[in-house]
Amino acid sequence: MSDQGTYNNWTKAGLIQRVKELEKQLKASSSSHEAISTTASDQQQPAKSEHEHEQQQKQDDQSETAQQPAKKPKSKTKKKMDPSKYATRYIALKLAYLGKNFGGFEFQAMGNQPSIEEELWNALTKACLIFPEDERVVDFECCEYSKCGRTDRGVSAFGQ
C-alpha cells in the first residue's frame, strides 16, 4: 500500500473508508482491553467449590446460546485479481458528460465535488481494467494515462 501518512491524493470515499477502518480497529482494541480487565477481576475473586463452578458454567453457556441469533451465512471476501495472468493492451475512451454535478474534468484532491477523472478512476478500478497499488489514491501513473480535450466557450453537450 502507498504511504498512508499523506492523504492528499485520496478520494473522499477512500478517506471515509479509512476512517471507518481505524474506528473499527479502535473499537476492537478497546473491547479486548475490557475483556482482559474483566478476566483479571474474575481471577481475584475467592475460589468457588468445583460444584458451584460447574453450575455457573452451565448457566453461562445457556445464556450465551439464548442470546446468540441464528448464524448468518458468511459473506464472500473479494479476491484481488492478478493482472499478470491476463494479456493487456492500450484502449482509447471517448466520453461526453454533463458537468452540472461535477467539479470539472481534472481530479482535485481537495475538491468539494467529485471530478470526472475521479469517477473514471473508480469505474476503471471497479471493472478491473487498471490495477493500482491502492484503489483509494487517484494516481494514473500505473496505467500510462493521457488525456486530450477541447471545450469551446459557450458550447455544451446539447449543441447550443
Active site residues: 152
Spatial separation of the C-alpha atoms in residues 142 and 88, rounded to whole Å: 13
For the chain, the 3-state helix, strand and coil shares in percent, each to the nearest 5, are 45, 0, 55
Could you give the CA distance from residue 85 to residue 95 in angstroms, rounded to a whole number? 29
- Which residues touch 101 (CB under 8 Å, ≥6 apart)? 113, 114
